Structure 1
């Protein structure tokens, strides 16, 4: 007899026995088989779907001796409604097995599910709960895997997720637990409000079109003025009112244009030029995408914000302080230029230095200062700089033959003396970090008036330097301009420790909402958005690494 016929006879003989055995298994035994199969196949799989939770889910079912977890109709209904509402969080319900769960639930309404289907539904629901909760808590994506220089630690999860899951199902408070896992910051809630609003406006046909054309100024009359008026009313920057001639660029329209420019970080001159028109021509669907990806960034950062913290939004070119969830300080800022990006990370600000000196980074000393020294030996004196050896001993620059050194063999330290000429200005704010980045002043004050303020080598320059100092010291009787001027006039480098260290977040948001519910859009100065949006819209896949 051929080998094929022997195998066929064996299958015919044993198959009924195998099927009978499967039918005799209890739901608990089927659950156990599916979970223990992880030891041989590497992951827990349900109907070809690789589950997300490959640690907590097996642990959860093992601890409950493989009993079904989703016997409560309320828990099932609350889970499905919560997964559906993930759309309003800027996430994709399809990531959480929702279609398969719905099909199994619909089937159970008409007929009794098989034991295998019952086990599958239970596993899918548990996995969906864990996955959705993790996305609310940590975000769907890991930003550091998409782009370097994102160094904010992931939000801490519950200390005992197995116990939390058991208690949540027992108390039937699934919706409340999901709420607890969302970021607790007004910006997150308001961004969701605007996401829902813009989606509705998109479904209704989007925003009115604004045509290209000549620059328009207050007092002008042209057909395009009526287009712009209609557009600004649609986006909420201009109230609808009766006007005799919609083609006249009147005072109300000018104020509407300025508000639009302010919300989009444009120069607020009330003039409708190329840059303003370009922003008006961005379709509502693109603005929706910006909200989606920045809601994700908010989940990375604002899960449990401190009662008091500093926030630098690199894309927004500003520094803010939040105390008791209210904005108490706001200043324009200058950030790192493209290809010399300011890093994204969390630090702790500890002290302030007035009349700082500046140790030039090695790259600046060798690539910018050294070439100038080779041309002009008096360059250091002209720039109020001095040269030291690696032990800090001052050297005579005229005794050094700069032509024999290069970026590969430069054994010196270049330091700029304290004073109004210093690149750090009159003050710097220190939060020790591996990037050697800090906040500081600058003598180039005119740069703050620029629309796009990405000019630095990575550090953050803050415009309202003394406002920030006095806010942090929080003692107006001592730390006022009289005291500050006294230190400045002394010329002495003075270190001042904060009364209480404060967390500072350097982040990157290209869409945000302020406390007055104004929706802001910022330029993607570091070109980060596309990669985040692409990853966010892709189906979620389990990554064991």
Structure 2
């Protein structure tokens, strides 16, 4: 990356009278660090650690530090290209203004605080992921920003900071590349989003051509392209938007094209930050990442992808919640204890029409004591959503809604990962059908990782297949794998390619209106 230097820095450093004897500064700074003034910085602990490591030496406000101060300013100015905000890093000292001797110590540590803050955000994200339930209380801490800054301020190294420390995963780079392409497009003079309409042809469709150019799929918005060339470009756009790639300008494609680029850029910034935020936990043995809009699960082992699975998530009326937790056990041949709302709203009306519905679907009725009762001895007509003292449970077997495997993790929503007998739905692109739980296409494969060292349980299950009325078998997780359930309409697949997905729960709907 080419970083421009501003001559004002060098002039400032040469002429300013505050550059004083190093030992005098060290003594004053050591004393200053114990005063209340340090509370003005955002990372006081790390700032103190940094100056302890460098023996309380000037790092910015001495003549010999002019180069690294200019570099720091350039790094801060480059924040938007990294999905960050320059306003987060002490904007009051960038660009440098006149500094008086009595505030030189505070300015010095403010530069250090800005550098540590920038490093932290670059490597570990600038905010925690918003989760409806945060069971892991995860805080990324695999880097020591103070120690790294001290190392990189050694002669000749600070210029390599971005190259060395910014994440290098293919998915991260794909998101960053698209972000910068769209920042460049939207910063052009007189830029404005164009509205594309449904059309049978692309040739002669000026707004269609302009939008494909704005999105980066054609090289010019004035070139005369053939219909096949335009269709090929539209197909690439459709792939990115996770739509049927047929080159037809139908309503779903038009809706995706007309989402303002400012909204797309905000989605990319959120995703870029989340990928940084997850970087530390992905370096651990295993971590499972579920993304709701893409309806996918990615399992990483020491940062390497080992499973990519399609999943089925909650429909709009019964959404899957965002959360973090830990997979603690695997249930083989699980019962499905039908949630109360499903039992009373969906099953009860069917049972009232025909009590035989229970046996036909392999259900059992349990009383308040947990004992199985004869469904034909229950007065179903007298029951309602407000009066239902029973639990309905689906027995094990080939038609059990949870399939052969259930992976449990604590959360207050009673959702979990599980197998399913309805495999055909995995062939669809829009997989929003569940009541909130997550159905796994590769449930057995994930179960093997959770039961590492005890995979014989899964292998035996695979060999025997579905056994009707087999009692559930609970197997504690050999490895308790952390799981994150996230909501990102811009997300990456297992190959590191960027895609955009439907905002199925309308989290971004205001900004998505064309």
- Matched with 2:314 is 336
- Matched with 1:263 is 240
More deviation in 151-160 or 278-287? 151-160
Q: How does 1:70-469 map to 2 (within 5 A)?
A: 70=60, 71=62, 73=65, 74-104=67-97, 107=98, 114-144=100-130, 148-149=132-133, 153-157=137-141, 169=153, 173=157, 182-183=166-167, 185-204=169-188, 209=194, 211-214=196-199, 216=200, 223-224=204-205, 228=208, 231-232=211-212, 235=215, 237=217, 246=226, 248=227, 250=228, 253-306=230-283, 308-322=286-300, 325=303, 327=305, 329-338=307-316, 340-349=318-327, 353=331, 355-370=333-348, 372-373=350-351, 376-402=354-380, 410-424=388-402, 426-435=403-412, 436-445=414-423, 447-448=425-426, 450-463=428-441
Q: Does 1:52 align with 2:42?
A: yes
**1:91 shift after superposition:** 0.5
On the 8 A contact 1:353/1:493 being kept in 2, the answer is no
Deviations 1:117-148 (A, max 9, x none): 4213212112212322332344323444xx63
**1:507 shift after superposition:** 2.3
In 1, Cα distance between equivalents of 2:108 and 2:511:
32
More deviation in 461-470 or 388-397? 461-470
Q: Does 1:511 align with 2:490?
A: yes
In 1, Cα distance between equivalents of 2:448 and 2:33:
59
- Matched with 2:18 is none
Deviations 1:481-530 (A, max 9, x none): 99836423677467596886654432222213446664311222234458
When residues 92 and 229 of structure 1 are mapped into structure 2, their CA distance, relative to the original with a 3 A threshold, is closer
Tell me which structure has the larger Cα radius of gyration: 1
On the 8 A contact 1:386/1:394 being kept in 2, the answer is yes
On the 8 A contact 1:265/1:521 being kept in 2, the answer is yes
On the 8 A contact 2:316/2:505 being kept in 1, the answer is yes
TM-score relative to the length of structure 2: 0.75
User: Any stretches of 5+ residues in structure 1 without a counterpart?
Assistant: 1-25, 108-112, 534-545
More deviation in 194-203 or 149-158? 149-158
Cα RMSD after superposing both structures? 4.5
**1:460 shift after superposition:** 1.0
On the 8 A contact 2:406/2:417 being kept in 1, the answer is yes
3-state secondary structure, aligned to 1:156 = coil
TM-score relative to the length of structure 1: 0.71
**1:339 shift after superposition:** 5.5
3-state secondary structure, aligned to 1:124 = helix
In 2, Cα distance between equivalents of 1:154 and 1:284:
32
On the 8 A contact 1:359/1:414 being kept in 2, the answer is yes
- Matched with 1:522 is 501
**1:272 shift after superposition:** 2.0
In 2, Cα distance between equivalents of 1:483 and 1:130:
51
In 2, Cα distance between equivalents of 1:465 and 1:238:
41
- Number of equivalent positions: 480
User: Any stretches of 5+ residues in structure 2 without a counterpart?
Assistant: 1-23
3-state secondary structure, aligned to 1:303 = helix
**1:313 shift after superposition:** 1.5
More deviation in 411-420 or 400-409? 400-409
On the 8 A contact 2:327/2:483 being kept in 1, the answer is yes
3-state secondary structure, aligned to 2:484 = strand
3-state secondary structure, aligned to 1:488 = coil
3-state secondary structure, aligned to 2:409 = coil
3-state secondary structure, aligned to 1:386 = strand
**1:454 shift after superposition:** 2.3
On the 8 A contact 1:27/1:116 being kept in 2, the answer is no
**1:386 shift after superposition:** 0.5
On the 8 A contact 1:207/1:234 being kept in 2, the answer is no
In 2, Cα distance between equivalents of 1:253 and 1:385:
55
